[in-house]
Amino acid sequence: MRMHKIFDIERYRPSKGERFMFDTNIWMYIFCPIGNYREHIVQRYSSFLGEAINTKAEIIINSLILSEFINSYLRLEFKIFKIRNPNAEFKKDFRKNSSYKRITQNISSASKNILKISKGVDDKFSSIDIESIISEFEKQNLDFNDLYYQEYCKIGKVKIVTDDKDFKYADTEIITGNPRILEG
């Protein structure tokens, strides 16, 4: 039976000792600013992160989320680069471009800031039923990493903070500001 507890980020108040895993999309909103892109969403999740820190809730991160953040940020920068260089290739052109060093420094700085406010945890790979996740991945057409995070959070009693509608039917507790998830 699915737990399916979804909480509106505008109404949910974190408390001391609670454990939260912020999905990659949230770290992207907060630490990968692009102009004023979706500013109201960024503010919503930034405020919640601040509340969680102030109440001494535990913000956890694992290597998979950090890797997704770094790669997503880098791929976003590559997409921007391709606007000016439509035929560019990632390794051949982008990584050899003079702005690449600055971009990687920005990404490294953002990653270090995330690590300052979160606690690195093991990803429990040996405890998670990977075959079940692979089976769900095949059946449901969902992102493998999202399924993995759901299972991790369920066994670790961690709440997921996300804006990703793929978590709509997650078998764990979700905190979101996304109306498509809240409508359940």
Rounded Cα–Cα distance for residues 37 and 34 (Å): 6
Q: Domain with 128 in it: what CATH number? A: 3.40.50.1010
Tokens 């060093």 correspond to what residue?
A: 101
Q: CA dist 63 to 66, 74, 117, 125, Å?
A: 5, 16, 15, 11
- Write the secondary structure of 8-19 as one string of H (helix), E (strand) and C (coil): ECCCCCCCCCCE
Query: Looking at the predicted structure, is the pLDDT value of residue 101 above 90?
Result: yes
**Predicted local confidence at residue 184, as pLDDT:** 61
pLDDT bucket at 4, cuts 50 / 70 / 90: low
* pLDDT of amino acid 58: 97
- Confirm if 94 and 88 have CB atoms less than 8 A apart: yes
- Flag whether pLDDT at 174 surpasses 80: yes
Give the pTM. Answer: 0.90
Q: What is the domain range of residue 109?
A: 5-182
The DSSP element (H or E) to which 164 belongs, if any, is none
Mean pLDDT within 135-154: 88
pLDDT band at 87 (very low <50, low <70, confident <90, very high): very high
Question: Domains in the chain: how many in total?
Answer: 1
